[in-house]
Structure 1
Amino acid sequence: MTDENYETPIRAAVIAPGRIYGPGTSLLMFNREAVARRGAFMYPVEWELGTGDLFADDVDDMITERVTAAVRAVASAGASETVIIAKSLGTRAAPVAAEYNLPAIWFTPFLASAPVAEKTIEALRRSTAPFLLVGGTADEFWDGDLARSLTPHVLEIENADHSMFVPGPLRDSAAVLGEVATAVERFLDDVVWPGSR
């Protein structure tokens, strides 16, 4: 392929995983596919964390530093329409989205029962770009009422835990995965990249 035929995608997604929920696991995998189908390239961020304090300031600093580096990398590559997609621990990158005015999709963010909840909430309140919040009522870190006060874009799954699993047969949890994927596709098509499909 010659340089004249190469086009840098203007759309990009920075994917920030959870502690043990990497960028290739089911929830993020489906959403990586959603952005790929809309002509975006993906910049997955990875980290390995031990068994120390996951809510320590140095963990916040590491997440912010790596996601910021990813945002800058996609911008320098020519992407002008970037979205951050993050799960759990990765949602502590909310200050990056606020700073760079980027839309975001936050899966199971820390909105309650965690020392970092206040930092996450404060960053979400500062955000001027739209964001989608996804969580379940059986997740101790989720607060549905608060989520709905922060954004009109909320998907709350009844009885879903922090992994977005629900009680009963696994097909029920698989159905949740489909429901989440549909919410993400609608958010991308209607809010982040209108007319992309």
Structure 2
Amino acid sequence: IDGWVESVRGNQSGEYSNDNVGRDAADSSDSTNQSGPRLLLIGKSLTTMTYPHVAAHYGLPFVLLTPVLHHADFDPSARVIPVPAVGDDIVAESEAPSVAEARAIIRAELAGQSHAASSRYAGPAPLICAGTADPFYDRARANALTPHVHEYPDANHSIEVPGHWRRSLDYLKEVTASVAQYAATL
């Protein structure tokens, strides 16, 4: 990740190799942009585990699709995305906030008292999209991490509802719209 971010930020010409991400038409038309290309990272499942590193080192916006917020039975390390808490650095999974505590964190952030200032996570709060039937999803941890949580009832780790292709397709449309809306606010 470090090499990729540095290579994208270091290349101001708008031309990128296959190892990098190109800019869209709106970005590339602004050749006077001195801050370099705008970056938005999108991770799915295990790649969402990189969020703490990306946030702490780069403060980049991140979309977490089906993030690992509850440990997988097959993973003996029981690793999950650490969740910052108000006034704490990082809480362990066993110390995850309750839904009421998560709502208090969100209220504080909306009131301008961002928990990011007292944690190691910098930059904009991530967008989370996950199904409620995903065994790796944890609503309380998601709400403690960000106010930008989009849940899909009965959807699994693929944000699909088995046996319901129309509903699954509607969810895919909603995820795509949510990512586009999140990106537009950056």
TM-score > 0.5, shorter chain as reference: yes
Residue of structure 2 equivalent to 1:100: 58
8 Å contact 1:138–1:162 — kept in the other structure? yes
Over residues 27-77 of structure 1, what are the superposed CA-to-partner deviations in whole Å (9 max), with x where a residue is unaligned?
Answer: xxxxxxxxxxxxxxxxxxxxxxxxxxxxxxxxxxxxxxxx22211111111
Deviates more, 1:176-185 or 1:68-77: 68-77
8 Å contact 2:83–2:144 — kept in the other structure? no
Out of 143, 164, 179, which is 1:169 matched to? 164
Aligned residues: 125
Within the alignment, does 1:183 sit opposite 2:178 as a pair? yes
Over residues 93-151 of structure 1, what are the superposed CA-to-partner deviations in whole Å (9 max), with x where a residue is unaligned?
Answer: 11123211111101111101241115477499632212101111111110112211211
CA change 1:120–1:87 in 2 (3 A) is farther
Offset of 1:168 from its aligned partner?
3.0
In the aligned structure 1, how far is the partner of 2:40 from the partner of 2:155?
A: 25
Q: Which amino acid aligns with 1:141?
A: F
Query: Given the two structures, how large is their TM-score scaled by the length of structure 2?
Result: 0.61
What RMSD over aligned residues (CA atoms) do the two structures have, in Å? Answer: 2.1
Within the alignment, does 1:74 sit opposite 2:22 as a pair? no
Residue of structure 2 equivalent to 1:116: 79
Within the alignment, does 1:128 sit opposite 2:126 as a pair? no
Query: Given the two structures, how large is their TM-score scaled by the length of structure 1?
Result: 0.58
Out of 79, 87, 97, which is 2:44 matched to? 87
- Identity, % of aligned positions: 36
In the aligned structure 1, how far is the partner of 2:83 from the partner of 2:7?
A: 24
Offset of 1:169 from its aligned partner?
2.5
After TM superposition, which residue ranges in structure 1, 4 or more long, deviate above 4 angstroms?
A: 118-125
Residue of structure 2 equivalent to 1:152: 147
Report which of the two has the higher share of helix: 1
Residue of structure 1 equivalent to 2:15: none
Q: Which amino acid aligns with 1:68?
A: D
CA change 1:142–1:85 in 2 (3 A) is same
8 Å contact 1:92–1:120 — kept in the other structure? no
In the aligned structure 1, how far is the partner of 2:71 from the partner of 2:2?
A: 26
Residue of structure 2 equivalent to 1:24: none
